[in-house]
Amino acid sequence: MPDLKWEVLSSEYIHKGPWATLRTDKCRMPDGRIVPGYYVLEYPDWANAVAITEDNKIVMVRQYRHAAGVVSLEIPGGVIEAGEKPDEAMRRELLEETGYLFDNFELLCKLHANPSTANNVTHCYLARGGKKVQQQDLDEQEEILVEEYTIDEVKQLLAQKAITQALHCSTLFYALIKLGELK
């Protein structure tokens, strides 16, 4: 198989922020052609989870997403902090966003949101046996409603296209396959 990887000749940062950084790379393609300015968004890695409670309900969150201007039904998740392991980040995010504690985590997959423009990876988990142990502990700019659904209700929401966050839909489908709910 031919080598398709580009060689990065130089990089220049245009913007550095806490959640997103933009750089432009000058690259050489395998055939020698030069790409003078390829824009790359640098994001921290993320983690998300299909979180199933002790009574077999899937914990979902509903929140406003400003960039798209929509109120979105999603699975819990968030940024993996520097030095944090992905499963530790997921445990923390679940506790903060929902107040549920989960100890049983299984990595379902790793996904790239958009590998043509972004460099991060999303670590997708199946968490089981969750118990409500505290109130939410949200960040200053978070307003999150916690909702519970049966597996059949989540399947119906997916069929109705009511869950539109692509990474979360993918994780839900992987979890439903793992659980034997989709064939």
The answer to whether residues 62 and 147 belong to one domain is yes
pTM of the model: 0.93
The answer to whether residues 34 and 105 belong to one domain is no
Is 2 part of any domain? no
The answer to whether residues 121 and 155 belong to one domain is yes
For residue 74, CA distances in Å to 63, 66, 69, 83, 135 come to 8, 14, 15, 26, 19
Q: In what order do the strands lie in the sheet with 34-42?
A: 7-16, 21-28, 34-42
What does the pLDDT read at residue 79?
Answer: 95
The answer to whether residues 69 and 132 belong to one domain is yes
Residues listed for the chain: 183
Give the pLDDT confidence of 37-68 residue by residue, as tens digits: 999 999 999 999 999 999 999 999 999 999 99
The answer to whether residues 13 and 99 belong to one domain is no
Does 183 have pLDDT greater than 80? no
Give the pLDDT confidence of 112-147 residue by residue, as tens digits: 999 999 999 999 999 999 999 999 999 888 899 999
**Mean pLDDT, the chain, integer:** 96
User: Which range marks the domain in which residue 15 is found?
Assistant: 7-42
Q: What percent of the chain has pLDDT over 90?
A: 94
The answer to whether residues 28 and 103 belong to one domain is no
The answer to whether residues 91 and 120 belong to one domain is yes
DSSP 165: -
Give the C-alpha separation, 118 to 39, whole Å. Answer: 9
Task: List the single range of 1-5, 6-10, 95-99, 175-179 with lowest mean pLDDT.
Answer: 1-5
What does the pLDDT read at residue 130?
Answer: 97
The answer to whether residues 17 and 78 belong to one domain is no
